[in-house]
Amino acid sequence: MASTASEIIAFMVSISGWVLVSSTLPTDYWKVSTIDGTVITTATYWANLWKTCVTDSTGVSNCKDFPSMLALDVSTPILGIKLTTPQIKSLLTESGYIQACRGLMIAAVSLGFFGSIFALFGMKCTKVGGSDKAKAKIACLAGIVFILSGLCSMTGCSLYANKITTEFFDPLYVEQKYELGAALFIGWAGASLCIIGGVIFCFSISDNTKPPRMGYAYNGATSVLSSRTKYHGAGGDFKTTNPSKQFDKNAYV
């Protein structure tokens, strides 16, 4: 019962973490423009993994999708503007880390999906997956997959946050600076839950693989007289005699 309860807790924790990680992909606010040092804010800049937007004081937002890293041609002008070498390097760096974060977050969501499937087959409370030993191995595999999902999400969010903090504290960076958005905190929370649930799944295999305890039946005490009678009746070689006749008064002299 203890292993079944731990598997249910691990499943609920892992699924909750996977849902949080999945919700970060469509979330808008991965980074938000800082208001540090500004007196009047007329527009708010924010961005995620797919686009960058600006919202004016009336609440109207204008968005622009990020250019594709694969379709970027450094020899041609972009939007009619001929890019210089530093601008090209900056654009390539920006697009490169965005693509890396995209890949890590998509991998985290995909691994979490397969981890949930393995967990359903490996839990002892389900009727699929085979014997208890086979289900324990599947549950351990689900735990490893969930841990990998959490690590991918943690790495993607940390990489994005590192880019924001590096630009924010760089005194030579004169462009628009940003602060950490809500999506990063959601991604970190989901990654932590996936890792915790995966670890619990991996430890549950030790409870499922323990050999069952042997039971011993107690038949009760057997008297000496009854055992002698049993041997006398079985083989005929042993005879029961009255123990009081074996000793007379000469035995005590």
Going by pLDDT thresholds of 50, 70 and 90, the confidence category of residue 130 is confident
What length is written for the chain? 253
* pLDDT confidence of residue 73: 47
* Backbone phi, psi, residue 61, to 5°: -110, 140
Q: Token pair of 244, please?
A: 């009081």
For residues 191 and 109, give the distance between their C-alpha atoms in angstroms, rounded to a whole number: 10
For residues 45 and 40, give the distance between their C-alpha atoms in angstroms, rounded to a whole number: 14
* pLDDT confidence of residue 65: 82
Task: Provide the β-strand partners of residue 64.
Answer: 52
* pLDDT confidence of residue 150: 96
pTM: 0.71
Going by pLDDT thresholds of 50, 70 and 90, the confidence category of residue 68 is low
More confident residue, 212 or 155: 155
As to burial, measured by CB atoms within 10 angstroms (0-12 exposed, 13-18 middle, 19+ buried), residue 50 is: middle
pLDDT digits (tens, 9 = 90+) for 74-116: 443 444 444 455 544 555 556 678 888 999 999 999 999 999 9
**DSSP state letters, 153-213:** HHHHHHHHHHHHHHHHT-TT--S--EEE-HHHHHHHHHHHHHHHHHHHHHHHHHHHSSPPP
Q: Token pair of 248, please?
A: 């007379």
As a whole number, mean pLDDT of residues 158-169 equals 90
Distance of CA 90 to the CA centre of its chain: 35
Q: What percent of the chain has pLDDT over 90?
A: 32
* pLDDT confidence of residue 239: 47
Q: CA distances (Å), 82 to each of 64, 66, 87, 96, in order?
A: 19, 18, 10, 20
Stated as kind and residue range, the H or E segment containing 43 is strand 43-47
As a whole number, mean pLDDT of residues 216-236 equals 48
For residues 180 and 158, give the distance between their C-alpha atoms in angstroms, rounded to a whole number: 11
pLDDT digits (tens, 9 = 90+) for 40-62: 667 788 888 888 888 887 778 88
Going by pLDDT thresholds of 50, 70 and 90, the confidence category of residue 210 is low
Going by pLDDT thresholds of 50, 70 and 90, the confidence category of residue 207 is low
* pLDDT confidence of residue 115: 94
pLDDT digits (tens, 9 = 90+) for 182-195: 999 999 999 999 99
What is the number of H-type helices and E-type strands within the chain? 5, 5
Distance of CA 214 to the CA centre of its chain: 36
Going by pLDDT thresholds of 50, 70 and 90, the confidence category of residue 213 is low
Q: What percent of the chain has pLDDT over 70?
A: 66
Query: Is residue 52 classed as helix, strand or coil in its secondary structure?
Result: strand
For residues 167 and 177, give the distance between their C-alpha atoms in angstroms, rounded to a whole number: 7
